[in-house]
Structure 1
Amino acid sequence: MGTPTLVTIYYLEMTSPDELVPAQRTVPGLAIRQARIPCPELNRFFYTTVGADWHWYERLSWDDHQWLAYLDRPELETWIAYLEDTPAGYVELEKQPGQQVEIAYFGLLPRFVGRGIGGLFLTAAIRRAWEMDARRVWVHTCTLDHPRALQNYQARGFRLYDTVEKVVELPAGQGSLTPTG
């Protein structure tokens, strides 16, 4: 049995590449590359590890066939951020009807949070989304996500277009993978 939890979901969008406010800092050793071969193990690793602290649970029951069916589509791209050649985070960009691109999943591995990577990686992801023939780039986040997620999206130029509150039942036993102490 899960725990009923009130969640606020924030929907944000950009309708022009000119709305992007790029992150200005630099992080030596940061590289961002596309994962060109659909790899369920890779995306599952990022999804479970990045999402462990933020209650990402919808895909936890997916098997390899479900992951591959999701990933092996021309409209989906996975990009990986590396710091000193070590995987640090990922983003899934999904091209959708109406020349829209959704930032479907975005996040950093716990060890890389707070190093200035998030803003730079998000900037690169948004630029790539616009290159995918987008007329609109959108994302949603919620009160279960990282406390700075909404702030990061808005700092990059996303504007809020809808807010929804709903009660979700969080699975029992889902806990943090982040080391303590």
Structure 2
Amino acid sequence: MSNVTVTTWSLEQTAPTDLISAMAPEEDVRIVRSEVPSPEFSRFLYASVGGDIRWTDRLAWTYAQWQEVLDRPGAETWVAYDRGTPAGYVELDPQDDGTVEIVYFGLIPAFRGRRIGGHLLAYGAARAWDLAERWPERAETKRVWLHTCSKDGEHAMDNYLRRGFKLFDTKVEEEPDVAAPGPWPGA
């Protein structure tokens, strides 16, 4: 198997005032918290959003592994719906020190390029900043961070920068060149 060079950028916001909002899309897009932990739904979102950009780290997870991640106190999944159809999601993972990671963020391919991504990212970052209001046992958010890489969509980095995230680390590594699995085999 051959390798591919992958650049990973880590970005952060260190105050709620860093967040820059985005214009709402013209379609009827609603963003709703997925309050009932559902491994099936979370795996659907993960595979559908990341299938064409080589998100593979969670594909082999068992049901129990998905459930464990979803059951963590303060873990949240926010889903964008375009006229009732899931269009993308943001997954938040709070840490004990007041840091919240945007673990996953993205759109299903059919919904990209329609101004939904900036709106969803800004909304998800705002929910990271006010997470302690919904989870009083969690520390107040002091920092929101995420990472993106050269395998992600061509507009990903620009979207993060336009939402007020600042670059704080860059890594370049060789990774096995795996085929993009698509949302289902053969897609």
Any idea what the Cα deviations from partners look like across 1:36-66, whole Å, max 9, x if unmatched? 0110001101111111111101111011111
1:46 corresponds to: 45
1:147 corresponds to: 154
Aligned length: 176
**SS in structure 2 of the partner of residue 31 of structure 1:** strand
Q: 1:52 to 1:25 in 2, by over 3 A?
A: same
2:113 corresponds to: 114
TM-score (norm 1): 0.92
**SS in structure 2 of the partner of residue 12 of structure 1:** strand
1:59 corresponds to: 58
- Give the gaps of 5 or more residues in structure 2: 132-139
| Counterpart selection for 2:144 from 137, 140, 152 | 137
Asked if the contact 1:50/1:108 (under 8 Å) is kept, the reply is: yes
**SS in structure 2 of the partner of residue 90 of structure 1:** strand
Any idea what the Cα deviations from partners look like across 1:103-151, whole Å, max 9, x if unmatched? 0000111110011100001110011000022100000000001111111
Asked if the contact 1:55/1:170 (under 8 Å) is kept, the reply is: no
C-alpha distance in structure 1 between counterparts of 2:44 and 2:91, whole Å: 13
Superposed CA RMSD in Å reads 1.4
**SS in structure 2 of the partner of residue 78 of structure 1:** strand
Matched, 1:159 2:158: no
Q: CA deviation at 1:25?
A: 4.2
C-alpha distance in structure 1 between counterparts of 2:23 and 2:57, whole Å: 34
Code of the aligned partner of 1:45: F
Any idea what the Cα deviations from partners look like across 1:2-33, whole Å, max 9, x if unmatched? 43111000000000111111112443311000
Q: CA deviation at 1:174?
A: 3.5
2:3 corresponds to: 4
- Give the gaps of 5 or more residues in structure 1: none
State the percentage of identical aligned residues. Answer: 43
TM-score (norm 2): 0.90
